[in-house]
Structure 1
Amino acid sequence: MLTKLVQIYMPLVMGVLIGWLASYWLPKQTPVYLGKGLFLFGVPISVFVFLRQTDRSDSIWLAGVAAWGAMLTGLGLMYWWLRWGKPKHNRLTAARSTQGTILLASMVGNTGYLGLPIALSLFGNTGFAWALFYDLLGTTLGAYGVGAMIASRYGPGKPGSSSTLPRIWQNPTLWTFMLALIYQDPLPEFVEQGLRSIAWGAISLALILIGMRLGQLTSLHQIRQTAIPLGLKMLLLPLLIWGITAPLPIPTIAKQVIVLQTAMPPAFATLVLAESYSLDPEFAVALIATGTGGLLFTLPLWLWLTGLLG
């Protein structure tokens, strides 16, 4: 068990640590440029490379259904707690802007830059495909679709800068996703090799980007108040999803990937939406940072529960 955890954690921790250290001496705009590069080139190429190498069954589309089920369940549970289960005089839930931020964090997980590398390291290309379908058909559409609607409802008015919100159809990953589904012919070997190198490099840079973003976060004084939202997002919700998917007639690897993707900490999209719609960016920062660190402790639980650790 210890050997497996070391194999999983080593590339994750090293990548994030390198990014965190680099954030102190690289220009502050570096994560912005790196993020744009990954968004436009790195992640789309990775999707194209790994998806073409995967045998896709008809059931893999259920990953998107599972993603929406998990997001809506998390949203419903957190809405119930905010409406009826919250303790009286709790400052955490006093402001509607903070409530909106909590709802977004309970719904949208970091299934892209964090969930995909974990799935690839644990399951190879087949698991990566399930995680990718979960992310693109669920998280991406949910974050900037339903998530934007929630942010607009709980914000004080129109978004301060709508240009910061990427339109779904402008996401190049979705286009390469569809291209990989359609185009299966082999490319020249030197092209395939070059694309594979870029794809693996993009996975490493995604982890470094997470470290850079975490290194720039400063508003962490609300960490104690993240316990309930993160407990629901990273503990209760994956447990419910595991109970629901366990008896279903789908591949075991699919159940494992779905649970792990559900257990991912809040995504950076939470902060993007919170800033754009004037919600509570400071609390979004606390949720992201605490959740990302907490994954080191919750991941072994889900690996054991899903049978990946004996």
Structure 2
Amino acid sequence: MDLFLKVAEAVTPVIVLAAAGIIWVRSGLEYSVQFVTRLTMSLGMPCLVFVALMRTEIDPTQIRALGLASAAGYGILTLGAAGLLALAGLSQRTYLGPAVFGNTGNLGLPLALFAFGPTGFDYAIVVFAVMVLWSFTFGIWIVAGGGGVGPLLREPIVGATLLGLLFLWQGWHLPAAMTNTLELTGQMAIPLMLLTLGVAVARLRPGGIALAALISALKLVACIATGWAVGSLAGLAPEARAVLVLQLSTPIAVTSYMLAEKYGADAQAVAGLVVVSTAMSLVALPLLLALLL
């Protein structure tokens, strides 16, 4: 019961803020999705990621081992999802990112902290950093329909993640005043993303829920199996392997919707995936944590 309550505590803000976005749109109030998306992806998220990485304390050897295992896990998931989507005749631009990337930030990080303590949180940050780099390079390349690598490298969140990893590696810290400013700026990202998700949910097309449920369930099973297998083959410590499994298995991230909206993929279908997979996680994540602890 405690596990269920803790997961519910982490997921409730997602549900409440998304509901606020739905109510906002249903009330006929104006909401500029384009402006909010640009503000969040160009300013809020880069600050959030950089500060989280800079403040992490973990042994460099563990960073390297878990980082490589995380990269291998996401690579396997990407290849498997791309193959299944091709067989099913579904759009890679719309569905590949959501099928691979989870909500490792505002859901995975607090769950790792609750389940495994400060050390587990540090492990979770490493997986989060790998996900960000893969999501905002290859993930953007897919959702944008290809193109050169130049625009990807100019994405602020990619630079912020690399800079955060450098600070983490070197043990550097910014002055408190600057850190507090960046932290405050980053705090706007998650609420704005969730409100924007609610706006999209308010416009969902009927009939997409069954497909969203199927993809979400397949993603969950594949992520658990991949995380456990890769973590075992990499020889990770039990706690690091458990965190890897947890992070890979988090529900589809709101960021996937934001990228679909920004680059012109089917954002409404992705919004449905986010909502269904998040609801599914209310049952799945407590069970998963019970097995991992």
TM band (smaller chain): 0.7 to 0.9
Offset from partner CA, 1:198-236 (integer Å, 9 cap, x none): 333433333333333333x42231322344433221223
CA distance in 2, matches of 1:79, 1:195: 36
**Which letter maps to 2:139?**
A
2:219 matched residue in structure 1: 233
Alignment correspondent of 1:34 = 36
Q: Are 2:182 and 1:195 aligned?
A: yes
Preserved CA contact (<8 Å) 1:60 1:133: no
Aligned to 2:198: 211
Question: Deviation at 1:257?
Answer: 3.4
Is it true that 1:177 corresponds to 2:161 in the alignment? yes
Residue number in structure 2 paired with 1:60:
63
Counterpart check, 1:43 vs 2:27: no
* AA of the residue aligned to 1:126: D
After superposition, the Cα gap between the structure-2 partners of 1:63 and 1:271, relative to the gap in structure 1 and judged at 3 Å, is farther
TM-superposed deviation, 1:148 = 5.3
Identity of aligned residues (%): 18
Q: Which residue of 2 aligns with 1:118?
A: 107
Gaps of 5+ in 2: none
Larger radius of gyration: 1
C-alpha separation between the residues in 1 aligned to 2:263 and 2:157?
A: 23
* 1:104 Cα deviation from its structure 2 partner: 1.3
Distance 2:189 2:71 in 1: 27
Q: How do residues 1-310 of structure 1 correspond to structure 2 at under 5 angstroms?
A: 1=2, 2-25=4-27, 26-29=29-32, 31-56=33-58, 57-78=60-81, 93=88, 96=89, 98=90, 100=92, 104=96, 107-109=99-101, 111=102, 114-122=103-111, 123=113, 126-145=122-141, 147=142, 167-183=151-167, 184-215=171-202, 217-246=203-232, 248-263=234-249, 264-265=251-252, 267-268=256-257, 271=260, 275-276=264-265, 283-284=269-270, 286-307=272-293
Cα deviations across residues 122-180 of structure 1 (Å, max 9, x unaligned)? 226514522332222333233134x359x56xxxxxxxxx79x9931111122222333
Change in Cα spacing, 1:34 to 1:203, as seen in structure 2 (3 Å) is same
Distance in structure 2 (CA, Å) of the matches to 1:6 and 1:297: 9
Q: Distance in 1 between matches of 2:20 and 2:42?
A: 22
Alpha-carbon displacement from aligned partner over 1:241-279 (angstroms, at most 9, x marks no partner): 224314643344532332233223273277459945xxx
For 1:299 and 1:166, the matched residues in 2 are separated by: 38
Letter of the 2:195 counterpart:
I
Change (3 A) 1:63 1:43: farther
| Secondary structure, aligned partner of 1:46 | helix
The one-letter amino acid paired with 1:175 is G
Determine the C-alpha separation between the residues in 1 that align with 2:268 and 2:183. Answer: 38
- Partners of 2:17 and 2:198 within 8 A in 1: yes
The secondary structure found in structure 1 opposite 2:187 is helix
1:24-44 deviations in whole A, cap 9, x for unaligned? 344241x32222112111111
Aligned residues: 276
Assess if the C-alpha contact under 8 Å between 2:47 and 2:185 holds in 1: yes
Superposed CA RMSD in Å reads 3.6
Give the structure-2-normalised TM-score: 0.74
Q: What is the CA–CA distance in structure 2 between the aligned matches of 1:226 and 1:257, rounded to whole Å?
A: 25
Larger fraction in helix: 2
Q: Structure 1, unaligned stretches of length 5 or more?
A: 85-92, 153-161
Structure 1 residues 191 and 107, CA gap change in structure 2 (3 angstroms): same
CA contact (8 A) 1:23 1:212 kept: yes
Is the contact between residue 19 and residue 198 of structure 2 (CA under 8 Å) also seen in structure 1? yes
How far is the alpha carbon of 1:62 from its aligned partner? 4.6
Per-residue displacement from partner, 1:80-109 (whole Å, max 9, x unpaired)?
A: 65677xxxxxxxx4xx4x254676156432
